[in-house]
Amino acid sequence: MAEETRTAKLTIGDKTVDLPMFAPTTGPDVIDIRKLYGQAGVFTYDPGFTSTASCDSTITFIDGDKGILLHRGYPIGELAEKSHYLEVSYLLLYGNLPSPTELEKFEALVTNHTMIHEQMIHFFRGFRRDAHPMAVMVGVVGAMSAFYHDSTDINDEFQREVASIRLIAKMPTIAAMAYKYTIGQPFVYPRNDLDYASNFLRMCFAVPAEDYVVNPVLSRAMDRIFTLHADHEQNASTSTVRLASSSGANPFACIAAGIACLWGPAHGGANQACLEMLKEIGTPDRIPEFIARAKDKDDPFRLMGFGHRVYKNFDPRATVMKQSADEVLELLGIENNPVLQVAKELEKQALEDPYFADKKLFPNVDFYSGIILEAMGFPTSMFTPIFALARTVGWISQWKEQLNDPQLKIGRPRQLYLGETERSYVDIEKR
Ligand code: CMC
């Protein structure tokens, strides 16, 4: 825990309460209100946690006003350009960039855990073929606690480590199998001579009748998408994982909870919703109509892939994603992709519009990722599962950090109660 630096004074009527303050290594100071109820008999009120720090953490830092995202201090742009997903995973999990030997050992460990228990295949077969792959992932990942009993004891450090590696290693296999199941194709088993991203592409696109030769540019783009989604501080799904874990739940149950939360269109589900929106717009001449709808208070429509709770400037992940979209489409010879044209024109018109400028709404990570994923051959229903597999390492890193925190308490918010006060039960014949 940080050192107390100064004191905030809160005056309620004629009573003044001193509240300790802590300074982070970077970012705004925080006021510690843990003893507030005991001292003053009041709660704080912050639906949506817009001004509340729920924990201390050393993993990821975001300065939303400046558009900065750091993992363990390293800017996301540098990591996306110079590093790769498994190296960034090591960094998130253990705090520092690995030495060559450490990286080799870590990659070998992850690679050796890519297969799933054969019995789990039958579990997949219990789902309807038309199930959304996210529904399958929530179920299958939750069910891992029924298949891997030997890594569910959260008080055993070795078991925690095994669960972490299993989740990171098996998530691509599970996501690919969820996809294969919904399109009625046989499952493709992992191949350990391939890197993490290439293996995932092959498990999605190979068939027994014909192997899939991985294009290194596509595999690099896939790896970059994983890297850009690896962690993002205390977002909704990560906070869900932490809350689930605070009760002592096992790691597979906690990650399943995170996947469920990520699915929503305000969070990870935005990548699917964004591409569907771009297709619905169809041609640049229809953009003004959709911008007008997004601005209309009486219309629930929002520009998907726009806006962020924390970023009030360019999302640095979106900048890299846009570049990557250009590269991938050029490689595939589809630079004139109509969806990309609509996306670029929509971004331009929205950024010039005072509504979006005043509210500081910029394209987020989900704005361009769908275009790349579609060009690679993924259907929109696979976009959020890909986000989930990439975010798994972030969830796991935050989960491990929480379990090592001596201040760990069960998460239990309070409320502003606006319901009835106590009243007596009325017998049914008198109502
Ligand atoms: N289109 C139109 N108006 C918007 C949008 C948008 N995409 N986003 C926010 N606004 C408006 C909103 O109506 C509100 O206006 P007012 O102050 O007049 O009521 C104002 O901007 C602030 O919005 P908010 O909903 O209070 O902000 P929030 O921090 O609670 O929500 C958000 C953040 C990401 C949920 C929201 O911007 C949104 O719904 N965006 C579209 C969905 C999306 O792209 N989500 C992906 C987020 S990035 C990846 C991830 O986290 O998974």
The CA distances from residue 381 to 11, 269, 285, 307, 377, in Å, are 52, 9, 27, 22, 12
Q: Rounded to the nearest whole angstrom, what is the distance from the C-alpha of residue 304 to the centroid of ligand 1?
A: 9
Highest mean pLDDT among 193-207, 320-334, 365-379: 193-207
Active-site residue (options: 223, 231, 315, 366): 366
Residue 100 has pLDDT above 80, yes or no: yes
Active-site residue (options: 46, 308, 315, 405): 308
- 18-76 residue pLDDT tens: 999 999 999 999 999 999 999 999 999 999 999 999 999 999 999 999 999 999 999 99
- 130-176 residue pLDDT tens: 999 999 999 999 999 999 999 999 999 999 999 999 999 999 999 99
- CA-nearest residue for atom 44, ligand 1, is 305
The pLDDT of residue 335: 73
- b (16+ CB within 10 A) / e for 315-349: bbbbbbbbebbeebbeebeeeebebbebbbebbee
Q: Rounded to the nearest whole angstrom, what is the distance from the C-alpha of residue 292 to the centroid of ligand 1?
A: 15
Q: Rounded to the nearest whole angstrom, what is the distance from the C-alpha of residue 306 to the centroid of ligand 1?
A: 7
Q: Rounded to the nearest whole angstrom, what is the distance from the C-alpha of residue 148 to the centroid of ligand 1?
A: 39
How far, in whole angstroms, is CA 229 from its chain's centroid?
A: 6
Residue 333 has pLDDT above 90, yes or no: no
Report the alpha-carbon distance of residue 11 to residue 208 in Å, rounded: 71
243, burial (CB in 10 Å: exposed 0-12, middle 13-18, buried 19+): buried
Residue 315 has pLDDT above 70, yes or no: yes
Residue from 64, 39, 61 nearest 50 by CA: 64
Q: Verify whether residue 308 is a known catalytic residue.
A: yes
Please give the number of the atom of ligand 1 that sits closest to the Cα of 269.
Answer: 52
Please give the number of the atom of ligand 1 that sits closest to the Cα of 50.
Answer: 29
Instruction: Please tell me the pTM assigned to this model.
Output: 0.94
- 355-389 residue pLDDT tens: 999 999 999 988 989 989 988 999 999 999 999 99
The pLDDT of residue 1: 65
**Given ligand 1 and candidates 309, 351, 365, 367, which is best to mutate, with the most ligand atoms within 8 Å of its CB?**
309
Q: Provide the token pair at 331.
A: 């490689």
Strands (E), 43-200: 60-63, 68-71, 74-75
Place of tokens 């992850």: 110
- 238-263 residue pLDDT tens: 999 999 999 999 999 999 999 999 99
